[in-house]
């Protein structure tokens, strides 16, 4: 019995141990489930279906699934809305369902996690095991529970009559369902029968026939909408279309031709112009007025004065150096550059990007040292009839085009800078010290660089500060430090215009072969007025004055602008833009657009005029489109000024020794210059009794500015070894004028007042070398203004020289004194920007004619003396033969006679003093001589007298 009990206990312990170790595995489920549930249902259809497996099956409890647990998802709400239940414990089948109704419109998708657990080791679920957590994504399917709703209950539109429109108005309805199937509007429908309108599926309403305002002014009808679930709109929408009478939108009152009388100041261009929109509702209007003044040339007002003259009138600081002067013997580095004609007096140089390069001489470069300077130029990229550089190949990236490349000496160091263009960028590469400092690049992105138009650039460098003015407007640079990507320039002074020297071309830099573009390519375009002024930078007011335009568009009174109106004028005053949102205010503003011309003598001609309009409406598709209007402004011929030179007699007679003095003789000591305007004046009676109008010409003296005068010898040119024209250079320098003094002319140029030119011309003197006097010399004086557009009368002066007896007897003394007379330099100055003709040199020496004349005079004197001795011999023979002749008989009494030669004979004969010039045989000369009484200092005068008995007897 004891053994049996022991065996029973052992069996019971073994069974208990086996039961406790039966639940070895965890349940298994899928890692992710996708579910769908309808809004009106709570059962979730899962894919794949929900099944939990346990490897402990078919053991009771351990292999069975007792339940599922739902955990919160990413939003923390999944466990609240959903639950999972076990349908079959043995198979592990489960079901997911919602605890409460779902709403697709509030939340369309849900996510949560689910976990299965088995029944454990017994009915009480002891030692139950859990599976891993699986993610469940549930999407709520929509049910067509909402109907479409129109955005507006009433739609209104206005259309002109007689036209068919693709769209008059657009209606719109919305559906609150969440799915595309039920939230989209599938079609619209007009429920009012027999209306001349149709609607498409997008809600666009158009007319099916032309509308007539006389037949029916207002059309009213109803439309409805259906979603794709065929639910109709809850409420229909009303559409009201108003038919407007015929109206042609556009500008009314446009005048194609506008005339401008010089001196009128500002005139309105469109005094009666207004915009008709035909009741179209617009919310933005923009009009652009363009005045084309390209005929003027560079910038504006450049047909009045040259660049140098404009700088003087604007008060610019003097001392600039012209880097592209007119070709001359003193400035020959521009002689190889091609030039183009310009409306002003300045030269325009053409650069082709390869072999058109100017090398500035070292003597000019040496005067440009320092890190403070102002570089100014006129630039136009591209240019006319210029072929691209041959070094550029197709497909390669275009190199920088160098305008100016310079290395100058600063005390004991060298600085380097280059101004270049690349695309629409302008860059200044500056190296303050090529041996120690770090190079810096200043960069500007400018549309003006690449628009193929003329622009004025003024670059003021006061390192490290750099200021750029383009057409008078300031632009800030972007600063870029460069670690020296290019090799250090050679420490030597040199400057190129239109390119830069090559990397390995130092010895041949002046030859400028094709290799000079290795570091910086050649410039391709036009340049003019390239100047550098070392020292302090140019004041801002001067830069603005240099580009200030006195002809262009303007706005009458800014205070009259209505609310919301804007006006903008570009720097050259050739484009004016108006912008506003109110038709009435816009029309008033357009009528205030004016043309302004403050030039005293405006350039006559035609200026094309354009008006471009852009409208923006609330209904963009049916907004008005206005074509561009074109016209022209005609500037009439102004009253030409008359520049009158007077106060100088046609003859100037002085003794020859006065011309041989150290200062010579002034040619125009009493010169007077007067500028007047002749214009028509209405002389009709100003009272009530005045009848018709009558006009007369009146001349008013005006204060004026001349820009050049010229003194020119007529006939042969001045002989530099015997004669010269002198000018008071102190007066010329003090006034900042420029002078060119050659043997063919003296040209004084520069914009200055009449009084200044009077002072300078009164100081012009004519000086001769000792013994170089002749009988006469003629000079011509003329002045001009506005680049020679208006010229004065030509004042001719004849200079006569009064000679003494000694000079007549010794004509050969002229040659003896020639070696002692030294003429100054032919060129006392150069006028930059003004092209003057090269003087023509006569091959005949002026002194030769004078020597011939003096020899002839000497020969005449010898013949007179021989005639006197012959008369005396005849007289003595007759006296001896007659013996005692009567006292009252005719005889030759020469006891008190002196022989006189009149040096004014030729002058008097030209003036008509001689009473009888015919029959040389009838005119005799009364000559007498007393050899005993005649002395060496007696003067000889040749006198013409009438016929007398003595002369006839002779």
Q: In the predicted model, is pLDDT for residue 519 greater than 50?
A: no
pLDDT confidence band for 751 (50 / 70 / 90): confident
Q: Are residues 99 and 160 both part of a single domain?
A: no
Residue 318 lies in a domain: yes
Record the pTM.
Answer: 0.51
- How many residues can be counted in the chain? 954
Torsion of CA 421, 422, 426, 427, to 10 degrees: -90
Please say whether the beta carbons of 195 and 222 come within 8 A. no
Residue that is last in its domain, among 205, 229, 244: 244
Please tell me the total count of domains within the chain: 5
Mean pLDDT of all residues in 401-421:
86
Range of weakest confidence among 29-43, 471-485, 920-934: 920-934
Q: Residue 160: enclosing H or E segment and its boundaries?
A: strand 154-160
Residue 507 lies in a domain: no
Q: Are residues 95 and 196 both part of a single domain?
A: no
Mean pLDDT of all residues in 795-804:
85
Residue 197 lies in a domain: yes
Q: Are residues 713 and 779 both part of a single domain?
A: yes
Q: The domain that contains 563 carries what CATH number? A: 2.60.40.680
Residue 882 lies in a domain: no
Q: Residue 946: enclosing H or E segment and its boundaries?
A: none
Tokens 């200030």 correspond to 548
Q: Identify the CA nearest to 721 among candidates 603, 865, 819.
A: 819
Please state, rounded to an integer, the average pLDDT across all residues of the chain. 75
Q: The domain that contains 795 carries what CATH number? A: 2.60.40
3-state secondary structure of 157: strand
Separation of alpha carbons 486 and 466, rounded Å: 22
Q: The domain that contains 122 carries what CATH number? A: 2.60.40.60
The burial class, CB within 10 Å (0-12 / 13-18 / 19+), for 559 is exposed
The burial class, CB within 10 Å (0-12 / 13-18 / 19+), for 931 is exposed
Q: Are residues 464 and 566 both part of a single domain?
A: no
Separation of alpha carbons 276 and 289, rounded Å: 18
Residue 936 lies in a domain: no
b/e for 731-751, b at 16 or more Cβ within 10 A?
A: ebeebebbbbbbbbbbbbbbb
List C-alpha distances in Å: 798 to 748, 779, 849.
21, 6, 17
Name the phi and psi angles at 685, rounded to 5: -60, 135
pLDDT of residue 692: 45
| Residue 922 CB contacts under 8 Å (≥ 6 apart), including other chains | 916, 947
CA end-to-end span of the chain, whole Å? 213
Tokens encoding 918: 């015919």
Please say whether the beta carbons of 241 and 218 come within 8 A. yes
Q: Are residues 321 and 456 both part of a single domain?
A: yes
3-state secondary structure of 81: helix
User: 798: how many CB neighbours lie within 10 A of its CB?
Assistant: 16
pLDDT of residue 305: 65
Chain segment 170-214, per-residue pLDDT in tens:
999 998 888 777 888 889 999 999 999 999 999 999 999 999 988
Please report, rounded to a whole number, the percentage of residues in the chain having pLDDT higher than 70: 73
Residue 854 lies in a domain: no
Write the DSSP string, 28-76: B--SEEEEEEETT--EEEEES--B-B-TTTTSTTTTSEEEEEEE--TTS
Torsion of CA 96, 100, 105, 111, to 10 degrees: -40
Q: The domain that contains 319 carries what CATH number? A: 2.60.120.200
Residue 494 lies in a domain: yes
Residue 12 lies in a domain: no
Q: In the predicted model, is pLDDT for residue 124 greater than 70?
A: yes
Q: Are residues 340 and 320 both part of a single domain?
A: yes
Q: Are residues 194 and 162 both part of a single domain?
A: yes
pLDDT of residue 778: 92
pLDDT of residue 347: 81
Q: Are residues 164 and 178 both part of a single domain?
A: yes
Q: In the predicted model, is pLDDT for residue 240 greater than 80?
A: yes
Torsion of CA 389, 390, 394, 397, to 10 degrees: -50
Separation of alpha carbons 296 and 275, rounded Å: 32
Chain segment 547-593, per-residue pLDDT in tens:
777 788 988 877 777 778 899 988 778 899 999 988 888 998 999 99
Q: Identify the CA nearest to 119 among candidates 69, 64, 70, 68.
A: 64
3-state helix, strand, coil in the chain (%, to 5): 15, 35, 50
Q: Residue 371: enclosing H or E segment and its boundaries?
A: none
| Residue 548 CB contacts under 8 Å (≥ 6 apart), including other chains | 472
Q: Are residues 650 and 623 both part of a single domain?
A: no
Q: Identify the CA nearest to 109 among candidates 48, 36, 181, 49.
A: 36
Q: In the predicted model, is pLDDT for residue 886 greater than 70?
A: no
Tokens encoding 278: 């035909």
Separation of alpha carbons 216 and 159, rounded Å: 13
Tokens encoding 936: 């060496």
Q: Are residues 340 and 488 both part of a single domain?
A: yes
Separation of alpha carbons 22 and 118, rounded Å: 12
Q: Are residues 655 and 790 both part of a single domain?
A: yes
Q: In the predicted model, is pLDDT for residue 306 greater than 80?
A: no
Separation of alpha carbons 414 and 830, rounded Å: 30
Separation of alpha carbons 416 and 432, rounded Å: 7
Instruction: Say how many CA atoms lie within 13 Å of 504 toward its Cβ.
Output: 0
DSSP 232: B
| Residue 833 CB contacts under 8 Å (≥ 6 apart), including other chains | 306, 307, 308, 322, 326, 344, 345, 346, 347, 529
Q: Are residues 774 and 651 both part of a single domain?
A: yes
Please say whether the beta carbons of 324 and 358 come within 8 A. yes
Please say whether the beta carbons of 111 and 73 come within 8 A. yes
pLDDT confidence band for 481 (50 / 70 / 90): low
Please say whether the beta carbons of 369 and 534 come within 8 A. yes
Q: In the predicted model, is pLDDT for residue 679 greater than 60?
A: no
Sign of CA dihedral 239, 244, 249, 253: negative
Chain segment 625-655, per-residue pLDDT in tens:
888 999 999 989 888 888 899 988 788 888 8
- Higher-confidence residue of 810 and 850: namely 850
Quick one: residue 900, left, alpha or beta (phi over 0 = left, psi -120 to 50 = alpha)? beta
Q: In the predicted model, is pLDDT for residue 884 greater than 70?
A: no
Chain segment 155-180, per-residue pLDDT in tens:
999 888 888 999 999 999 998 888 77
Q: Which domain holds residue 178?
A: 149-244
Separation of alpha carbons 879 and 886, rounded Å: 11
pLDDT confidence band for 932 (50 / 70 / 90): very low
pLDDT of residue 171: 95
Q: Identify the CA nearest to 705 among candidates 781, 601, 603, 794.
A: 601
Residue that is last in its domain, among 141, 163, 186: 141
């Amino acid at each position: 019995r004891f053994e049996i009990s022991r065996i029973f206990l052992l069996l019971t312990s073994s069974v208990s141990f086996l039961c406790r170790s039966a639940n070895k595995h965890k349940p298994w489920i899928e890692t992710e489930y996708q579910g769908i549930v309808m809004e009106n249902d709570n059962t979730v259809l899962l894919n794949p279906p929900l099944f939990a497996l346990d490897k402990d099956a078919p053991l009771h409890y351990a292999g069975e699934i007792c339940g599922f647990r739902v955990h919160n998802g990413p939003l923390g709400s999944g466990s609240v809305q959903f639950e999972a239940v076990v349908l079959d414990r043995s198979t592990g089948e489960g079901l997911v369902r919602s605890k409460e109704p779902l709403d697709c419109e509030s939340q369309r998708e849900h996510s949560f996690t689910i976990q299965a657990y088995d029944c454990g080791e017994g009915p009480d679920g002891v030692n139950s095991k859990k599976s891993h957590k699986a993610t469940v994504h549930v999407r709520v399917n929509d049910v067509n529970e909402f109907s479409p709703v129109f955005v507006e209950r009433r739609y209104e539109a206005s259309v002109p009559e007689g036209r068919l429109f693709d769209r008059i108005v657009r209606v719109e309805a919305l559906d609150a369902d969440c799915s595309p199937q039920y939230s989209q509007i599938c079609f619209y429908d007009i429920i009012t029968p027999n209306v001349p309108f149709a609607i498409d599926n997008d809600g666009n309403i158009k007319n099916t026939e032309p509308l007539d305002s006389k037949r029916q002014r207002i059309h009213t009808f109803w439309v409805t909408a259906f979603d794709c679930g065929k639910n109709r709109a809850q409420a229909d929408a009303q559409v009201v279309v108003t038919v407007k009478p015929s109206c042609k939108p556009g500008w009314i009152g446009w005048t194609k031709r506008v005339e401008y009388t010089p001196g009128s100041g500002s005139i309105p261009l469109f005094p009666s112009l207004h915009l008709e929109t035909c009741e179209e509702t617009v919310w933005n209007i923009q009009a652009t007025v363009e005045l084309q003044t390209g005929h003027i040339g560079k910038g504006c007002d450049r047909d009045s004065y040259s660049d140098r003259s404009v700088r003087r009138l604007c008060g610019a600081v003097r001392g600039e150096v012209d880097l592209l002067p007119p070709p001359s013997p003193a400035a020959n580095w521009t002689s190889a550059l091609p030039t183009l004609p310009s409306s002003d007096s300045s030269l325009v140089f053409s650069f082709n990007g390869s072999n058109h390069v100017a090398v500035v001489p070292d003597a000019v470069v040496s005067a440009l040292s320092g890190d403070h300077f102002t570089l100014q130029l006129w630039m136009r990229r591209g240019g006319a009839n210029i072929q691209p550089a041959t070094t550029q190949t197709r497909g390669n990236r275009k190199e920088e085009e160098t305008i100016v490349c310079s290395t100058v000496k600063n005390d004991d160091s060298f600085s380097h800078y280059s101004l270049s263009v690349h695309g629409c960028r302008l860059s200044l590469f500056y190296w303050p010290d090529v041996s120690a400092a770090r190079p810096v690049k200043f960069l500007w992105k400018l549309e003006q660089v690449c628009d193929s138009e003329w622009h004025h650039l003024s670059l003021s460098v006061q390192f490290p500060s750099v200021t750029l003015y383009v057409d008078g407007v300031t632009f800030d640079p972007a600063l870029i430090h460069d670690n020296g990507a290019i090799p250090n320039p050679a420490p030597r002074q040199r400057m190129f215009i239109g390119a830069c020297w090559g990397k390995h071309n130092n010895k041949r830099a002046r030859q400028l072969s094709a290799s000079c573009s290795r570091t910086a390519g050649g410039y391709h375009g036009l340049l003019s007025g390239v100047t550098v002024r070392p020292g302090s930078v140019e004041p801002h007011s001067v830069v603005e004055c240099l580009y200030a335009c006195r002809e262009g568009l303007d706005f009458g009174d800014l205070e009259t602008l209505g609310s919301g109106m804007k006006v903008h004028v570009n720097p050259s005053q050739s484009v004016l833009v108006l912008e506003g949102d109110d038709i009435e205010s816009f029309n008033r503003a357009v009528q205030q657009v004016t043309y302004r011309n403050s030039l005293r003598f405006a350039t006559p001609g035609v200026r094309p005029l354009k008006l471009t309009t852009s409208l923006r409406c609330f209904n963009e598709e049916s907004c008005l489109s206005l074509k561009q209007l074109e016209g022209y402004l005609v500037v009439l011929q102004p009253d030409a000024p008359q520049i009158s030179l007077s106060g100088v007699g046609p003859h100037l007679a002085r003794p020859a020794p006065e011309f041989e003095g150290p200062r010579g003789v002034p040619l125009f000591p009493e010169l007077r210059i007067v500028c007047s305007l002749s214009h028509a004046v209405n002389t009709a009676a100003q009272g009530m009794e005045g009848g018709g109008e009558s006009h007369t010409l009146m001349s008013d003296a005006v204060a004026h500015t001349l820009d050049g005068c010229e003194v020119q010898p007529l006939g042969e040119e001045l002989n530099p070894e015997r004669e010269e024209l002198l000018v008071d250079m102190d007066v010329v320098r003090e006034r900042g004028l420029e002078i060119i003094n050659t043997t063919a002319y003296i040209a004084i140029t520069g914009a200055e007042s009449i009084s200044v030119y009077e002072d300078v011309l009164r100081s012009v003197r004519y000086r001769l070398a000792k013994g170089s006097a002749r009988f006469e010399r003629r000079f011509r004086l003329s002045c001009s203004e506005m680049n020679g557009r208006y010229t004065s009368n030509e004042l001719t002066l004849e200079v006569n020289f009064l000679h003494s007896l000694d000079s007549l007897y010794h004509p050969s003394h002229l040659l003896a004194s020639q070696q002692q007379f030294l003429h100054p330099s032919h060129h006392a100055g150069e006028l930059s920007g003004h092209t003057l003709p090269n003087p023509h040199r006569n091959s005949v020496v002026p002194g030769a004619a004078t020597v011939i004349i003096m020899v002839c005079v000497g020969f005449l004197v010898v013949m007179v003396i021989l005639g006197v001795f012959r008369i005396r011999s005849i007289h003595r023979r007759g006296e001896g033969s007659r013996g005692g002749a009567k006292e009252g008989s005719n005889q030759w009494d020469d006891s008190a006679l002196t022989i006189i030669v009149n040096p004014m004979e030729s002058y008097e004969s030209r003036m008509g003093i001689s009473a009888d010039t015919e029959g040389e045989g009838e005119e005799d000369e009364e000559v007498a001589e007393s050899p005993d009484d005649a002395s060496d200092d007696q003067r000889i005068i040749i006198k013409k007298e009438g016929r007398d008995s003595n002369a006839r007897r002779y």
